Amino acid sequence: MGTAHRKVRERRARKQGIQVAAVRVFAEKGFSRATMEDIARQAEVSVGTIYLYYRSKEDLYVSLLFESMQRMSEAIEKIMASGLRPDRQLRRVWDYFYDYHARYPQSYRVLVFLQQPGLISGLAPKTLQEINVRAARNFSLVSRIVAAAIDKGLYRPHEPREVVDLLWSLFLGLVHLSETRKNLGVTIATLKDLHRKAFAWLEEGLRV
Amino acid sequence: MGTAHRKVRERRARKQGIQVAAVRVFAEKGFSRATMEDIARQAEVSVGTIYLYYRSKEDLYVSLLFESMQRMSEAIEKIMASGLRPDRQLRRVWDYFYDYHARYPQSYRVLVFLQQPGLISGLAPKTLQEINVRAARNFSLVSRIVAAAIDKGLYRPHEPREVVDLLWSLFLGLVHLSETRKNLGVTIATLKDLHRKAFAWLEEGLRV
Amino acid sequence: MGTAHRKVRERRARKQGIQVAAVRVFAEKGFSRATMEDIARQAEVSVGTIYLYYRSKEDLYVSLLFESMQRMSEAIEKIMASGLRPDRQLRRVWDYFYDYHARYPQSYRVLVFLQQPGLISGLAPKTLQEINVRAARNFSLVSRIVAAAIDKGLYRPHEPREVVDLLWSLFLGLVHLSETRKNLGVTIATLKDLHRKAFAWLEEGLRV
Amino acid sequence: MGTAHRKVRERRARKQGIQVAAVRVFAEKGFSRATMEDIARQAEVSVGTIYLYYRSKEDLYVSLLFESMQRMSEAIEKIMASGLRPDRQLRRVWDYFYDYHARYPQSYRVLVFLQQPGLISGLAPKTLQEINVRAARNFSLVSRIVAAAIDKGLYRPHEPREVVDLLWSLFLGLVHLSETRKNLGVTIATLKDLHRKAFAWLEEGLRV
DNA sequence: TATGAATGAGTGTTCATTCAT
DNA sequence: GATGAATGAACACTCATTCAT
């Protein structure tokens, strides 16, 4: 009876291993330049094996997004359960964005990937659906924090959803800017600095 | 006498035609998925002809970036020469960002290109240098507007450069968010709305 | 137990098959005009498969050279181990040159390859080194035969190395001459005749 | 009336210029790697112009052979008209081979080129014919020198034609060997040395 | 299940040749 | 005649995907 369980566990572990390897390789080379062979080598698995778990390279790539969205959901839920004041919670979320990118800089790139035109068309509708659900969930969680802050009179009345859109956009843009600058060899402001200042400024627009 | 002039004109027109075609194709398929043959077909030119004007696919791609940076510089300079109040100028710049993306949605994607890891390494150092110079120029122009607004007491004292970083990041992020949503088939907030609200909010953090 | 062995055997056989095909195609079309697809078709293998065994067209070509140098070394060593009188051995070597060319007319052309300007620069230094070592080895083997003939008083004293240079040059030149004539449609003297007479003449300059 | 002559003169000069340029470029890059553009640039002429004088790249290449064969004929005839003893004349011819290669190392490569299989088929039959006639002429001229030396009792009786074949083969082979060695970075014997020693040895087989 | 050898379509780039001016 | 921009076929090489073992 434990056999089936073990099988499932092993399968999950194997998948996990491939994902970890994929994240590393995609991060280093980007989607196009990364090869399935690279990933297989990194995961110490044969190429064929990857195809036992993922339908295609794209599928593998997008699956990384699921994973990171999941991680983010969990992190936000943990923050929400902390009992902190809502504005402090938002601050935590914002900081989490940074930590998240610092720890998994690759994951950010998966997001950028989704913005690539023509690519989505190659994804299974089910995958697309899945992404939407998870993204909506994350947005919704943060919205609740903002709503709570407004309720408690900590923030001026705003459409919480819009605030979250701005919050997330700002973060995405900051990462993009700092990554581009790093790539170009320019070192005028680190993401850390930008990130901190951005929030201070952001709050000026929120607080009563 | 007119012959040489005509030659130059024709050459420019041909280059222009290739660029226009390239923008369209890159926009539709992204850098990796776009083929030189796609571009040639779109430009109604043979593949070889493209190589008469550009050294490589990358070179062609980057030239589009130059072009758009140039356009942006000119637009900002025009705004600065308008004699408007600095805060109104900034508003114009912000609106220009939107118009720019509305008119050349493809061009925005060229910017994203620079964030791709590993790709930069394939560019000539001179090209890199050129990009940096042009980007710095644009940032610097907008900084001057912000500085003027602070000088005139319209904005609270801030490091102008930081303000511009936030401004640009926010715009980049908004575009990114709305494009991703469009790709995913989600239609909850248009870029237009996000863009307008973002500025209102942004100014709350700036104004005295 | 046998599986690994079979794998190795199959790999060797596959490589062999590609080499045989390559020799034929290169012989027919020359290096530049031969395409990887030609070779693949001839070997009844896909293009990709060739690249599983050889890094590049050049690499494949040079490997043929190694092969033929190896064959030559072995032939000469066999002759040296025959116990024949040194002058008879030299005769055998000379005859071997002819047989070699008769059996593998293609292989001769690989030697010509090395004389092509600009091409060498594309080879790995290690490969270059390897070629030198193998060529030196062959020259050295024949030199020893000549030295032995001189020692035994069969030949007049000469620098053995120089004798071998002349011997080999003469052979190369004869092949070249006869091939060119064949290509041009001239049939005045066969390589066989030239080859025989050349040795008779050559010996007149060597014998006491 | 002088106009037609001038035209012819100019045409010849133009052809000459292209040939000189071609020799240089082919020498530097080899046939395959040399481009018509390279040659045009070197000749300070447009690509189109080359095609006014030559049907193809191959045609241009082979025309260089005509030129060098012509030069060789003239040189040999001059030697024959010198009134020297026939054996001295042969020595001169042998030396001329060396000088010829030293001055026009490229021309040697054209000869090697003709040995390339499959190429000849792309040449006009007329061109082929022309080459044969000129080659035959050169061989015949040298044969006459050898015949004279035999007649005068300076050389042992040999079939003069065979002697010339050996002579030419030996030279070709020596050039090939030394060029290959140069390419491979080996410097054990210069062509000059090989060339000198070869003749000494060659004469031992000829003299009474 | 896992493997990894084999596949072959796909791509950027080159360059001999042509032809309108 | 002379030009050189335009052409487009050709080619080496890559790599996602498959499938026999």
Does the distance separating the beta carbons of B173 and A174 come in below 8 Å?
yes
The reported pLDDT for the residue numbered B121 is 61
- How far away is chain C from the Cα of D131, in angstroms, using its nearest Cα? 8
The reported pLDDT for the residue numbered B64 is 87
- Closest residue of D to C198, CA-based? D166
The reported pLDDT for the residue numbered B179 is 83
Residue B2 has pLDDT above 60, yes or no: no
Q: Which nucleotide is nearest to C51 (CA to C1')?
A: F13
Residue D190 has pLDDT above 60, yes or no: yes
The least confident of A43-47, A129-133, A196-200, D112-116 is: D112-116
Q: Are A116 and B30 in contact (CB under 8 A)?
A: yes
Tell me how far apart the alpha carbons of residues D34 and B140 are, in angstroms, rounded to a whole number.
48
The least confident of A139-148, C81-90, C133-142, D64-73 is: D64-73
The reported pLDDT for the residue numbered B37 is 97
**Does the CB of C34 sit below 7 A from strand F?**
yes
The Å distance, CA of B46 to C1' of E18, is: 14
Chain E bases near protein Cβ (<7 Å): 1-20
Does the distance separating the beta carbons of B166 and A198 come in below 8 Å?
yes
Q: Is D125 buried (19+), middle (13-18) or exposed (0-12) by CB count in 10 A?
A: exposed
Residues 29-68 of D with CB under 7 A from strand E: 33-37, 47-48, 51, 56-58
Compare CB distances from C184 to D120, D165, D169 and report the shortest one's residue.
Answer: D120
Q: Are B91 and B46 in contact (CB under 8 A)?
A: no
A158 and A191 together in one domain:
yes
**Does the CB of D20 sit below 7 A from strand F?**
no
> Residue type for A59, please?
D
- Closest residue of C to D130, CA-based? C184
Mutation target to probe the A interface, by most A beta carbons within 10 A, among B61, B180, B188 is B180
Compare CB distances from D201 to C166, C185, C197 and report the shortest one's residue.
Answer: C166
Q: What mean pLDDT is reported for chain D?
A: 88
A44 and A95 together in one domain:
no
**CA angle in degrees (0–180, nearest 5) for B119-B117-A66:** 135
The beta-strand segments (E) located in A5-109 are none
D66 vs A155, more confident:
A155
CA closest to C1' of F11 belongs to: C35
Structure tokens at C129: 């080194």
A104 and A140 together in one domain:
yes
Chains touching B (3+ CB pairs < 8 Å):
A
**Per-residue pLDDT reduced to its tens digit, A105-124:** 777 777 777 766 666 666 66
Give percent above pLDDT 90 in chain A. Answer: 48
A150 and A138 together in one domain:
yes
Give percent above pLDDT 70 in chain D. Answer: 94
D36 and D112 together in one domain:
no
Residues 49-88 of B with CB under 7 A from strand F: 49, 51-52
Tell me how far apart the alpha carbons of residues A103 and B81 are, in angstroms, rounded to a whole number.
45
Residues 10-39 of B with CB under 7 A from strand E: 33-37
Compare CB distances from B184 to A132, A171, A186 and report the shortest one's residue.
Answer: A132
The reported pLDDT for the residue numbered D118 is 63
The reported pLDDT for the residue numbered C1 is 45
Give percent above pLDDT 90 in chain B. Answer: 49
Structure tokens at C127: 């490969």
**Per-residue pLDDT reduced to its tens digit, D24-69:** 998 888 888 899 999 999 999 999 999 999 999 998 988 888 888 8
Chains touching A (3+ CB pairs < 8 Å):
B
Tell me how far apart the alpha carbons of residues D54 and D18 are, in angstroms, rounded to a whole number.
10
Residue C87 has pLDDT above 90, yes or no: yes
B115 and B179 together in one domain:
yes
Tell me which H or E stretch contains C90: helix C86-103
Neighbours of C107 (CB within 10 A): 20
Q: What is the CATH number of the domain that holds D68?
A: 1.10.357.10
Q: What is the CATH number of the domain that holds B33?
A: 1.10.10.60
C37 and C66 together in one domain:
no
**Per-residue pLDDT reduced to its tens digit, C154-204:** 999 999 999 999 999 999 999 889 888 887 778 888 889 999 999 988 888
Residue A189 has pLDDT above 90, yes or no: no
A24 and A90 together in one domain:
no
- Closest residue of A to B166, CA-based? A198
**CA angle in degrees (0–180, nearest 5) for A53-A59-A60:** 60
C5 and C96 together in one domain:
no
Integer CA distances (angstroms), B179 to A64, A113, B188, B190, in order: 20, 11, 12, 9
- Residue B189, classed as helix, strand or coil, is coil
- How far away is chain B from the Cα of A162, in angstroms, using its nearest Cα? 8
Task: State the average pLDDT over residues C106-134.
Answer: 71
Q: Which nucleotide is nearest to C3 (CA to C1')?
A: F21
**Does the CB of C51 sit below 7 A from strand E?**
yes
**Per-residue pLDDT reduced to its tens digit, B132-162:** 888 899 999 999 999 999 999 999 999 999 9
- How far away is chain A from the Cα of B44, in angstroms, using its nearest Cα? 22
Does the distance separating the beta carbons of C112 and D112 come in below 8 Å?
yes
- For tokens 């004539």, name the residue: C181
Structure tokens at C158: 């000469």
Q: State how many domains chain A has.
A: 2
SS3 content of chain C, % helix, strand, coil (to 5): 80, 0, 20
**Per-residue pLDDT reduced to its tens digit, A57-96:** 988 988 888 888 888 999 999 999 999 999 999 999 999 9
- Residue A189, classed as helix, strand or coil, is coil
B49 and B140 together in one domain:
no
The Å distance, CA of A22 to C1' of F14, is: 20
The least confident of A80-89, B108-117, C147-156, D137-146 is: B108-117
D139 vs A119, more confident:
D139
Q: Are C58 and C65 in contact (CB under 8 A)?
A: no
The reported pLDDT for the residue numbered A94 is 96
Compare CB distances from C118 to D30, D168, D171 and report the shortest one's residue.
Answer: D30
The reported pLDDT for the residue numbered B1 is 46
C185 contacts in D (CB within 8 Å)?
A: 128, 132
B132 contacts in A (CB within 8 Å)?
A: 184-186
Give percent above pLDDT 90 in chain C. Answer: 50
Q: What mean pLDDT is reported for chain B?
A: 87
B and A interact (at least 3 Cβ pairs within 8 A): yes
Residue A97 lies in domain:
56-206
B193 vs B116, more confident:
B193
CA closest to C1' of F3 belongs to: D46
Does the distance separating the beta carbons of A194 and B166 come in below 8 Å?
yes
The model's pTM is 0.85
A17 and A75 together in one domain:
no
**Does the CB of D118 sit below 7 A from strand F?**
no
Compare CB distances from A112 to B32, B115, B128 and report the shortest one's residue.
Answer: B115
SS3 content of chain A, % helix, strand, coil (to 5): 80, 0, 15
Integer CA distances (angstroms), B121 to A112, C205, D91, in order: 19, 63, 60
A95 and A197 together in one domain:
yes
The Å distance, CA of B45 to C1' of F7, is: 9
**Per-residue pLDDT reduced to its tens digit, B33-80:** 899 999 999 999 999 999 999 999 998 988 888 888 888 999 999 999
